[in-house]
Amino acid sequence: YEYCSYVWSKWTATGADYAWAQWLADVLRFSFVCGFYTGEKTASLESIKVEGKMRRLLCPDLPCAIMPWTVDEWVFKDNPDTGMLALVQRTYSQTDSFGGSGAGEVVIPWERVCHVPLLPASPGDLEGSSALRPAQVLLKAKQKTLQLQTLGTEVNTLGLLVVKEDGAHPMTEDARAEIKMQLDGRTAEQVAYLMLPPGDHKVEYIRPSDTVPDLSKQIETLDQQIGKALGNVHRLMSLQGTGSFAARKDASGEARDTMDFWADIPARAAERILRQFIEINFPLDAALGMVFTPNVNHAAVEELDNESRMRTLAGYANAGLITPSPEIQSQLRKELDLTTTTSDGES
């Protein structure tokens, strides 16, 4: 317990280079988007007081994230359910001992890997299930649509000016050269005009807004389809304040259950890391089965509605369901941060 308390204080210390909140964000972000999170476990020898004695023990650091897209191979024996050996990470910038640089590979033993898959189909499902998988095609379609609209804006920001010649009165070479000179010397700050030779010649100005495609309707439709594919339409409704109160309240409850599910993912990963290092530092106790791993609990941060609580307690008291006593009074004063009364009658 003393060892785990020391590790926990190190992980949650204020001002650390890699804080607990950052690790939580990495685990949730990568597992949600990519389907799994991988991190490399590291540790340092530190002096920790255990059972009244100072001992040199390995204290784990928070795992350093390995980008999922750099995991090139999974190495296992027989089957990945029980025979994981290592993973191979492909690096894009590596310098060896001879000064050579370039792409390379790093083999990381599985004992040093913190692996957190999202909704794996089996223990051997190493890549998990990305929460964005149902909307993968729609997300790619939205990406292409945004790229097309951006490209159209970049290409057509200058607009277009066209001079149409009157076939009955063709221009002379000198007139064409004069018009070309006017067009070449024209800047955006000038008023749009041209000096044309006699004849029914026409000038057409095409504004940038006339040539840029408006794909806002398509993007809005894709957003709606993506929301349905991800199954979060009801949650968006609860956040945006639309719909009936009952629907929003129910959606908020479901959203809270969902948050509990996500909180469990890094909590269980932290417990596995603690268990591994407990067994490393206390091998005899581990062999005898005399070690335990504290649970990493989580709860919602909320503020009690004291006014509603007082009305409820008053109702219970009037109904005779509870009887006032010094113990209840003392506990309520303590919870409500009110003054307490001592046995001498002093507040």
pLDDT, tens digit (0-9, with 9 covering 90-100), for 21-57: 899 999 999 998 889 999 999 999 999 998 889 999 9
Residue with tokens 């000016």, as numbered in its chain: 161
Do the Cβ atoms of 313 and 303 come closer than 8 Å?
no
Q: Which of 17-26, 80-89, 229-238, 312-321 has the lowest mean pLDDT?
A: 229-238
Q: Are 90 and 41 in contact (CB under 8 A)?
A: no
Q: Please report the pLDDT score of residue 48 as a whole number.
A: 92
Rounded Cα distance between 334 and 328, Å, is 10
CA–CA distance, 61 with 20 (Å, rounded to integer): 10
- Residue-level pLDDT at 37: 95
Residue type, 65: A
Q: How far apart are CA 42 and CA 126, in angstroms?
A: 21
Q: Which of the four pLDDT bands, split at 50, 70 and 90, describes residue 135?
A: confident
Residues 303, 297: Cα–Cα separation, whole Å? 19
Q: State the pairing for strand pair 64-66/202-206.
A: unpaired
Q: Is pLDDT at 305 greater than 70 in this prediction? A: no
Q: Is pTM, for the whole model, over 0.85? A: no
| Terminal C-alpha separation, the chain | 38
41-55, 147-161, 305-319: least confident range: 147-161
38 compared with 223, residue with greater pLDDT: 38
What is the average pLDDT across 98-115?
A: 83
Region 9-21 average pLDDT: 85
| pLDDT at residue number 248 | 47
Q: Is the pLDDT of residue 265 over 50?
A: yes
Instruction: Give 186-202 pLDDT, tens digit per residue.
Output: 665 555 566 777 888 88
Q: CA distances (Å), 18 to each of 67, 230, 312, in order?
A: 16, 31, 45
For residue 65, which of 96, 24, 13, 106 has the smallest C-alpha distance? Answer: 24
pLDDT value, residue 233: 47
- Is 250's pLDDT higher than 90? no
pLDDT, position 225: 85
How high is the pLDDT of residue 38? 95
Question: For 142-165, what is the mean pLDDT?
Answer: 74
Kindly compute the dihedral angle of the four CA atoms of residues 113, 119, 123, 128, in this order, to the nearest 10 degrees: -60
**Tokens found for residue 266:** 């890094």
Residue 301: pLDDT over 80: no
Is the pLDDT assigned to residue 184 strictly greater than 50?
A: yes
Q: For position 332, what pLDDT does the model report?
A: 78
